Amino acid sequence: MLNDIAQRLQQLEDRVAISERVIKYAVAIDRADWTMFRDCFTDTVHVDFSAAGLPASDFDRDTFVSFAKTGLSTYAARQHLSPNHIITFSDSDANRATCQSYMYAQHYQPGAAAGDVFLMHGAYTNEMVRTADGWKIERLTQHLSWMDGAPAQQD
């Protein structure tokens, strides 16, 4: 029984750590805290934003951070909300889990030709792995449901 309680306690702690990592992903974007953003991922991260036009690919973590920083820095402000976390653990590996979460991403650029605000609505599938530095996102899939407005145009 003690082992069962220890396992249950570990899983509760893991749920909190996984959820916090996914939230930090969103908060880091909004704060333009690229160090915090970088810390969310494994050294190689599989990113699938194909619903928004970026084909699925494996990225070196620093390359993905640079990509995100370049694309998101064009906005004067951003707000990413990541609620409704559903976490499931692998049946075969206690060091792997999946966190499904909603995505509500607001991007503000005053004076943009398509309007000041660009909104993305959908969800994420965050495939997580426990590392020596805690839970990290190893695979990130964006599921885009709909958009309002249009992204800022690059010059």
Residue ranges per domain, the chain?
2-148
Confirm if 108 and 30 have CB atoms less than 8 A apart.
no
Confirm if 43 and 61 have CB atoms less than 8 A apart.
yes
Residue 101 in 3-state DSSP? strand
| Token representation of residue 116 | 């000041």
User: What's the whole-number average pLDDT of the chain?
Assistant: 93
Q: What gap in Å lies between CA 113 and CA 115, rounded to an integer?
A: 6
Residue 140, strand partner residues: 47, 126
154 contacts: CB under 8 Å, gap ≥ 6: 74
pLDDT score of 108:
95
Checking if the pLDDT of 155 tops 50, the result is: no
This prediction has a pTM of 0.91
> What's the CATH fold of domain 2-148?
Nuclear Transport Factor 2; Chain: A, (3.10.450)
pLDDT tens per residue, range 63-73: 999 999 999 99
Burial 114-123 (b: 16+ CB within 10 A, else e): eeebbebebb
pLDDT score of 2:
55
